Amino acid sequence: MRKAWIRVDANTRIGRGHLSRCMALAEMLKADFAIVFLIAAANKSFCQPLLADWEVCYMEDEAVLLALLQKDDLLLVDSYEIDNDWRIKHKPLVHTLVDVNDIPGQISGAHVILNHCPALQPDRYTTDENTLLLLGMDYAILRPDFLSYAQNAPVQISGTGVFICFGGADPHLLGHKAAQELLIAGFKDPVYLVSAAESELTAQLMGYENFHLLSHLNAAEMRTHMLKVRVLLLSASILSFEAIALRKPLLALYYVDNQQLIYEGLVKLGMAKGYGRVASAKDMIGIYQDFEALYSDDEKLQDMVVRQQLMLDGQSKNRVRDCLLGSK
């Protein structure tokens, strides 16, 4: 079986977003490739618990790649530390070099560029001749629990309450503040907050009977809780793609630059209502008005779910697999 090396970064500073995306990609490819993650040794303590089910090479020096990579291999890279010079150097060493990318621009040294940002146009990239562009939600990188559900998901609104998540770390404590805003405004339906972050608001929030604090959920648990509710409040990250796979109405925001294009695409295509850019927890003050306007509008919610169904069909695994098996 051919090897697929996945070079990705994740740590307490940048979070696990890139790694989560690559783990989903690994699930999509594991039937056809022997997967090995390539992780900087400095990130071992952060990544090791998350990659317990995968083969991993922790690198003290990236020069080790020169000995590991073979001409028939697939090399996938998802890291802001990887530049054009790095890709140009390593491209001749493998069969196919795939740049898993969320910020378009001038990209050299990749056989394939994969960016599942909705509504993204090829003219946002300047590439080498014959570079294959896999752009948009036809190539959505999602975990099996969500892709399988999307294939036969009911196109109708359901559930009660709200599911809030801005990543497990949530460095700006956006989730706690959003939950507080909803609860002090008198929202009575269940409020599920996924966060492992410590906040001075936690004690107050736990005093509400309809508030539920969750953390360290696996894919199946995430799916179960997301399906319970009527509306999701999420960042424009892979979380928003999971919401769309479950056909769940979504109020989205972004707080880092690499979420902006996803946010703009989701809103443009009507798959989410936009709250805008958030710089700190203070920007969540007043979010209840936007949330309630969406939560109480059955017509808007149903239209959003229909648009989600049109844009994500759950077949992206087959498209990505076929393209990478047949590339170059």
- How far out from the chain centre does Cα 287 lie? 23
Indicate if 131 and 168 belong to the same structural domain: no
Indicate if 93 and 168 belong to the same structural domain: no
Indicate if 154 and 243 belong to the same structural domain: yes
Question: What's this model's pTM, rounded to 2 decimal places?
Answer: 0.92
Indicate if 219 and 298 belong to the same structural domain: yes
> Is residue 151 within 8 Å of residue 142, measured between CB atoms?
no
Read off the CATH number of the domain in which 306 is found.
3.40.50.2000
| Mean pLDDT, contiguous 10-residue spans, the chain (328 residues) | 94 84 95 96 92 95 91 95 95 97 94 96 95 97 95 94 89 95 98 93 97 93 97 95 97 94 97 97 97 98 97 96 82
The predicted pLDDT at position 10 comes to 87
Indicate if 294 and 196 belong to the same structural domain: yes
Indicate if 163 and 306 belong to the same structural domain: yes
Indicate if 10 and 154 belong to the same structural domain: no
Indicate if 182 and 270 belong to the same structural domain: yes
> Is residue 178 within 8 Å of residue 241, measured between CB atoms?
no
| Predicted confidence (pLDDT) per residue in 34-70, tens digit | 999 999 999 999 999 999 999 999 999 888 998 999 9
**Helical H runs in the chain?**
17-29, 44-47, 65-68, 84-90, 144-151, 174-184, 202-206, 219-228, 238-245, 260-268, 287-295, 298-311, 316-325
Read off the CATH number of the domain in which 123 is found.
3.40.50.11190
Could you tell me the residue range of the domain that residue 275 belongs to? 146-311
Q: What secondary structure does DSSP assign to 113-169, as a single string?
A: EEE--TT--GGG-EE-TTPEEEESGGG----HHHHHHHHT---S----SEEEES-SS
The tokens describing 320, both together, are: 């990505």
| Predicted confidence (pLDDT) per residue in 262-304, tens digit | 999 999 999 999 999 999 999 999 999 999 999 999 999 999 9
Indicate if 57 and 160 belong to the same structural domain: no
The predicted pLDDT at position 327 comes to 63
**Number of domains comprising the chain:** 2
> Is residue 2 within 8 Å of residue 216, measured between CB atoms?
no
Indicate if 196 and 284 belong to the same structural domain: yes
